[in-house]
Chains A and B, each alone.
Chain A
Amino acid sequence: MPPPADLASDVSGVRVDDEGIRAHSVDEVVLDVLFDGRRIWSFWLQRDGESTGGSYVVAWPAALRRYLNGTTRLQLVEHVTGFVAYDAEVRLGQGDARIAVVNERGLPLGIDKSLRLAQTFDTRSAEHVAPLLDSIEEVLTALRKAGIEAFPAYGTLLGAVRGGRLIGHDSDADIGYVSDFTHPVDVVRESFRLQRALADMGYSIQRYSGAAFKVDVLEADGSVRGLDVFGGFLADGNLHLMGEIRAPFEREWVFPLGTTTLEGRELPAPANTDAFLTATYGPSWRVPDPAYQFGTPPSTARRLNGWFRGTRVQREAWDRTYSRLPSEPPDIRPSRFARWVRRQEGRVPARVVDIGCGTATDDLWFARRGASVLGLDYALRGSEPVAELAAAEGVDLTFRDMNLSELRSTLAQGARVAQQPGPRVVTARHIADATDRVGRAHLWRACDMMLRGGGRLYVEVLTDRGTDDSFAREQHLRPVPMRRVLRELEGRGATVLSHRQTRARPHSRAGHRIGRLVVEWRR
């Protein structure tokens, strides 16, 4: 039996199956997908669908697919008008149970604007939203203490101005500010200063770029919420705001700040919210669009990329990898590289600095054999299980944050290591091939600094990905030819004592190829 469709709807021919949703509409339309009465996902039919046979087929988002095994009452609702275009009991996959899109704690999830599953605000009660509002106010206050007049931005401002509420299909809160500075260098320096001020207040900060970072706020129930703070500035008659905006703008449209109301709380807002939201979302910002995607002009992306970005090379990939690590303690077996280092040194080195330590199993192996080991990485989540083991065992193993894409971080860690006199071994296993050209320049600089008291650098690097080998993809690596590594090191004043390359599969050219180098700085 065909599902009952609202006669006023322009959407027709709806079919739902395991691949996705098929529908026809002459005009573009934004549709909400409801499972058992709850919104799960929204999309633009023509923009997001594939045109086929006079209809559009929109595939299920990858993040949702693993839940699609069972039955549900599926409704397709036009977001703006509320017209129900489809309403039927459907079965997806082979299961018989009701489909439940929930997290491990049973809390309802929905697809957010980035096509990720998240606890969207429409699934949260007032008591659940209150801690978020507390966090927004707390970060705004902290920024004010640091001398910055910030305000809710992006979807948070949109929700406040449009209806005084958080937007149902949103899942996070954003904060923005417009700097008094007009040059990117000064804007970045101010952002660094802000980071220091917030860190001094006890907040944990994760930097996204030279002008944006995340502040972790501890909420009353003990959970940690990250609020994004986007820096902006006015120059050449334009407002620039990380991470999407460059639009003609007047200073008077921002300052003096006005106010807006969000969930009953009065918060600061740009003086002209209409102009600000038009710069953010275009003139149609008043029309709700749960599947909105930024159409950032390439020239704006180039500017913001060039001025501010490039400090998170492969970071998301590593965070994803480490979020899937098993919770049980890792098996501490040394890599071939670690055993090779010990053989080269003739003994377990007294002091080891491991740049790009990853899961740090080699570090614990060295530390258990009496070495004093420092592990450095920008994604320290990977070494947390080993850090716990090391603390329990009382071995000399410490970890510090070091981001090779940030010169500040490289110089600071290089100097801290160099502070302690005497020789040491520095290891860099699959790190020159895990970063980019800038990161490698910083890596060699850090090694140069750390080995001022003598010692050697041991490098392992992917030099050829092979033709039938998934190693590079699994390890987030990009091969670097040996001749380039040699050129870079020698250009940095290093002496390469030895270098060689080996195939992962000795009798086949299909496998990847690894290069190893022993390096010194002779002074």
Chain B
Amino acid sequence: MATVRRKAGSAGARLRVRAKQAARNLGRFRAGVHAESLQALRERVTVLEQEVQECRQLNLRLAELTDVVQELLLPMAQRDEERLSMLLEKYSRGL
């Protein structure tokens, strides 16, 4: 009986040690996953910030283009209205 109790006791101790090891491993695994996902998120935020800046930079380009088109269209419009009407009509048909 005493032997059975001793064996059961040592099995319990081994189980506790293994459980602790398993818990530690799980903790390490979780921390690793957490660190990896945090790092991945950081990298993603950097990329997103760059993409947002690229989008913002389109404002200036669009303004420049609109400005050029407007300033060049105006004299064209004022000089040869008939031809311009034809061009605009043709352009519109192609949209």
B52 within 8 Å of A by Cβ?
yes
Main secondary structure of the interface of B (DSSP, over half): helix
Check if B59 sits within 8 Å of A188, measured CB to CB: yes
Check if B68 sits within 8 Å of A210, measured CB to CB: no
Main secondary structure of the interface of A (DSSP, over half): helix
Bound-state CA distance A408–B67 (Å) is: 8
In the complex, residue of chain B having the shortest beta-carbon distance to the beta carbon of A410: B64
Q: A306-B52, A306-B53 are in contact. Are A411 and B60 (CB under 8 A)?
A: no
Chain B residue numbers with a CB within 8 Å of A453 are none
Q: A184-B59, A306-B57 are in contact. Are A412 and B68 (CB under 8 A)?
A: yes
B63 within 8 Å of A by Cβ?
yes
Bound-state CA distance A189–B64 (Å) is: 7
Q: Which of B60, B64, B68 contacts A307 (CB 8 A)?
A: B60
Chain B residue numbers with a CB within 8 Å of A411 are 68
Bound-state CA distance A185–B64 (Å) is: 9
B61 within 8 Å of A by Cβ?
yes
Q: A408-B67, A408-B68, A412-B68 are in contact. Are A188 and B53 (CB under 8 A)?
A: no
Check if B64 sits within 8 Å of A407, measured CB to CB: yes
Within 8 A of B (CB), among A161-186: 183-186
Check if B53 sits within 8 Å of A192, measured CB to CB: no
B62 within 8 Å of A by Cβ?
yes
Within 8 A of A (CB), among B27-58: 49, 52-53, 55-57
B65 within 8 Å of A by Cβ?
yes
**What is the CB-to-nearest-CB distance from A218 to chain B, in angstroms, rounded to a whole number?**
27
Chain B residue numbers with a CB within 8 Å of A438 are 57
Check if A310 sits within 8 Å of B68, measured CB to CB: no
Chain B residue numbers with a CB within 8 Å of A310 are 57, 60
A399 within 8 Å of B by Cβ?
no
B25 within 8 Å of A by Cβ?
no
A311 within 8 Å of B by Cβ?
yes
A321 within 8 Å of B by Cβ?
no
**What is the CB-to-nearest-CB distance from A407 to chain B, in angstroms, rounded to a whole number?**
4
Chain A residue numbers with a CB within 8 Å of B59 are 183-185, 188, 210, 306-308
In the complex, residue of chain A having the shortest beta-carbon distance to the beta carbon of B69: A411
Chain A residue numbers with a CB within 8 Å of B62 are 185
A314 within 8 Å of B by Cβ?
no
Give the residue among B49, B52, B60, B66 with the most A Cβ atoms within 10 A: B60
Check if A188 sits within 8 Å of B68, measured CB to CB: no
Check if B53 sits within 8 Å of A305, measured CB to CB: yes
Bound-state CA distance A189–B55 (Å) is: 18
Q: A185-B63, A189-B63, A210-B63 are in contact. Are A303 and B56 (CB under 8 A)?
A: yes
For this complex, 9 residue pairs linking A to B, each with C-beta atoms less than 8 Å apart, are A188-B64, A192-B64, A302-B52, A302-B53, A306-B56, A308-B59, A311-B60, A407-B65, A408-B67
Interface positions of A (Cβ within 8 A of B): 183-186, 188-189, 192, 210, 302-303, 305-308, 310-311, 406-408, 411-412, 438
Interface positions of B (Cβ within 8 A of A): 49, 52-53, 55-57, 59-68
